[in-house]
Amino acid sequence: MSEFHPQTAIVLAVFFIVYLGMILGGLPRLHLDRTGVALLGAIAIVGFEVMTPEQAAQSIHLPTILLLFSFMVISAQMRLGGFYDAVTRRIAELPLGSMGLMGVIIAVSALLSAVFSNDIVCLAMAPVLAEVCLRRRVDPIPFLLGLACASNIGSAATLIGNPQNMLIGEVLRLPFAAYLWQALPPVVAGLLALWALLAWPLRRPAAPLQASPAQLQALQTEAAPLDRWQTAKGLIVALALVAIFLFTDWPRDVAALVGAGLLLLSQRFHSSKVMGLIDWELLILFMGLFIVNHALELTGLTQQAVAWLAAQGIDLSQPLALFIATLSLSNLVSNVPAVMLLLPAAEGAHAGATLALVSTMAGNLLIVGSIANIIVVDAARRCGVDIDWRRHARTGVPVTVVTLAITALWVARF
């Protein structure tokens, strides 16, 4: 419906309030985070009868939700099996200097994030990494920032590495293998650049760090025991799914759901434990934004805005325009909402890779640019290590500039 209608005003009001919440992280004077704002927006769309409950449900892209849920189950299996804890401690025990240790942390966290999702990897590895660094009497901040940045960069390599990539892959129906080969060169180059930026200051031996009493008290935690059988089950399912994605046409959401179902058949872990580790808030955020964005699309304003931008010389079907729009929106409203806004305008063979790479690389700029960054900062704080926005920016800004420059040169080939 292209002409103005009273409901159009309602949709616009809901849309702007929801995305104001995305920018601010919530709404002033209300105890609502981004998820709560998105859910409230979806409720308003149904409550004002812009869409019926059935229409709202149909606007949710179910394949994306199923794929995201399934990999949350797989990651929960790996966490309960003690896999991430064991890997992090094994890395810390390697007889390496600071530069070598940084390289291994970057490589391992990037590889794991490409398969198990960057948020989960950071959630599991950050507290253990902070602990082992303090026990080794080295400053944990560079290594924690390396973990956060590498997990963001590494997650861009695949269509299952982070939530926005899952969304892009499912909505645009991108082939898994084709995207992997498109994304791998800038991701590998970005990881090498990250190592150079973070390892260079570590080339000179630093004085041993003396942990404070508060930090020592925070370290009094027991290591999660490694369950080799449960870990092996999770790895087998994850690797089997990657092979299925690479070499078959089986729908990714269906294959992942079957894999998650197999892991729930366990004599060791009660399903309630697994379900307790699912990020239900992220799933609700996705569903709420799907409904709000679809309501705006029904007004015809989205198409009109894209056409107006094209008339002004900003054609989002062109790589450069899409690159700039993705970078700007990702730092304004966060990467998932930005991708949802731009997907309707994504056209051409370059669109999927541009959206995925730029929205992910941009997440390293500021702490709030990526959930993975927030997770690492929070984990560090619990161990008595303070990483404020200035300290993060001293690493995040140059890393983002360099990796986006690499990505821009790669995207320019399309």
Write the pLDDT tens digit of every residue in 116-161. 888 888 888 888 888 888 877 788 899 999 999 999 999 999 999 9
1 in a structural domain: no
Write the pLDDT tens digit of every residue in 279-293. 898 899 889 999 999
- Measured between alpha carbons, how far is 377 from 390 in angstroms, rounded to an integer? 12
169 in a structural domain: yes
- Measured between alpha carbons, how far is 290 from 276 in angstroms, rounded to an integer? 24
User: What pLDDT does 213 receive?
Assistant: 60
- Measured between alpha carbons, how far is 300 from 294 in angstroms, rounded to an integer? 10
357 in a structural domain: yes
Contact 109, 121 (CB under 8 A): yes
DSSP structure class, residue 207:
P
Cα Rg of the chain, angstroms: 22
110 in a structural domain: yes
Instruction: Reply yes or no on whether the pLDDT at 171 is more than 80.
Output: yes
- Report the number of distinct structural domains present in the chain: 1
- Measured between alpha carbons, how far is 236 from 239 in angstroms, rounded to an integer? 5
Over range 167-184, report the average pLDDT: 93
69 in a structural domain: yes
> Nearest-CA neighbor of 142 among 195, 94, 70?
195
Q: Which domain holds residue 226?
A: 6-411
**Segments in 206-251 forming alpha helices (H):** 213-218, 228-247
CA dist list (Å): 250 to 212, 246, 256, 400: 53, 10, 10, 35
DSSP codes of every residue in 281-294: HHHHHHHHHHHHHH
244 or 217: which leads in pLDDT:
244
Q: Which residue has the tokens 């056209």?
A: 347
Lowest mean pLDDT among 57-61, 122-126, 219-223: 219-223
**Segments in 28-117 forming alpha helices (H):** 34-47, 53-59, 62-80, 83-92, 98-116
Which residues are CB-neighbours of 382 under 8 A, at least 6 positions away?
Answer: 127, 218
DSSP codes of every residue in 256-271: HHHHHHHHH--SSS-H
173 in a structural domain: yes
3-state helix, strand, coil in the chain (%, to 5): 75, 0, 25
Instruction: Reply yes or no on whether the pLDDT at 207 is more than 60.
Output: no
> Nearest-CA neighbor of 26 among 6, 46, 41, 12?
41
91 in a structural domain: yes
pTM over 0.95: no
User: What pLDDT does 366 receive?
Assistant: 84
User: What pLDDT does 308 receive?
Assistant: 82
Distance of CA 8 to the CA centre of its chain: 32
CA dist list (Å): 139 to 60, 134, 142, 205, 276: 45, 7, 7, 11, 33
